[in-house]
Amino acid sequence: MAGEEKSGSEEVVAQHHFQEEQAQQIASLEAELRMLRRIFDILPDHIYVKNTQSQFVYANQPVVHNCGCERIDQILGKTDFDFFPHDLAAQYYAYEQELMRTGIPLLNHEEQNQFPNGKRGWLLSTKIPLKDNKGVVIGLAGVNRDITERKDIEEEKQHLLNQYKEALDSLKQMQGQVLTVCAWTKQIKEQDRWISLEEFLEKHFHIGVSHGISQDAINQLRTHLNSPSAPPPAC
């Protein structure tokens, strides 16, 4: 009887230790999770997790703010259709559902974004499927990076290249032509009318012109002031 009581008490103690260890492990995991969430919240990238219905189950603060909200509980259980124009939300949803159907990640995909102020921009998006221990897709994890500034620079670069090409094309078309230039006003005759040099450069080469006075003009002006009979500067 005493042996049975001792065995029973040892089992109770062992069970108690096991529960304590489990509680400590859970507390440790929760602490690590809180730390990771704090780190994710200060990162500029959009980090989120969605279920198979494309509903948010986790999102860091940049995602929350991009949805026009202040707290994570304002977006949990909701989809992009609750925060973005239908055309954008439909694109997000289609890509995500295809990913979860096939299990194929979406890597470095450029997609449009709309900021809370209504302005549109661009995101570089990577989304990967999340699977359970049986390999069944249960959702996705995503990371989006704002590349709006980069895209704006690329568009401006392309615009300048197009202008440069147009200027070269205009120059090629003008090769061999003779320009009629007024000796006094420096205007250029084009299609029976006289236009300024500034207008000509802007029209054909997209070149802006600023004005100054050359040293030769200053010298001629001085000569004219000192000798009124001398001709005025030609420029």
Q: What confidence category does residue 213 fall into, taking pLDDT thresholds of 50, 70 and 90? A: low
Half-sphere exposure of 66 (CA within 13 A, CB side): 24
Single pTM value for the model: 0.59
Tokens of 19: 């529960």
Count of domains for the chain: 3
Q: Would 214 be classed as within a structural domain?
A: yes
Q: Would 235 be classed as within a structural domain?
A: no
Do residues 110 and 124 touch, judged by C-beta distance below 8 A? yes
| pLDDT tens, position by position, 81-127 | 999 999 999 999 999 999 999 999 999 999 999 998 899 999 999 99
SS3 content of the chain, % helix, strand, coil (to 5): 50, 20, 30
Residue (of 79, 62, 206) closest to 143 by Cα position: 62
Cα 175 versus chain centre, distance:
42
Is the same domain home to 159 and 221?
yes
Do residues 70 and 168 touch, judged by C-beta distance below 8 A? no
Question: Final residue of a domain: which of 99, 122, 146?
Answer: 146
Q: Would 172 be classed as within a structural domain?
A: yes
Q: How far apart are CA 61 and CA 88, in angstroms?
A: 21
Residue 182, C-beta contacts closer than 8 angstroms, at least 6 positions apart: 188, 189, 194
Mean pLDDT of the 142-163 span: 88
Residue (of 48, 49, 81, 86) closest to 65 by Cα position: 48
Beta strands in 133-206 (DSSP E): 137-146, 180-181, 188-190, 193-195
Is the same domain home to 64 and 111?
yes
Provide the domain limits for residue 218.
152-226
| pLDDT tens, position by position, 128-146 | 999 998 999 999 999 999 9
Half-sphere exposure of 60 (CA within 13 A, CB side): 22
Is the same domain home to 36 and 97?
no
Residues facing residue 129 across a β-bridge: 140
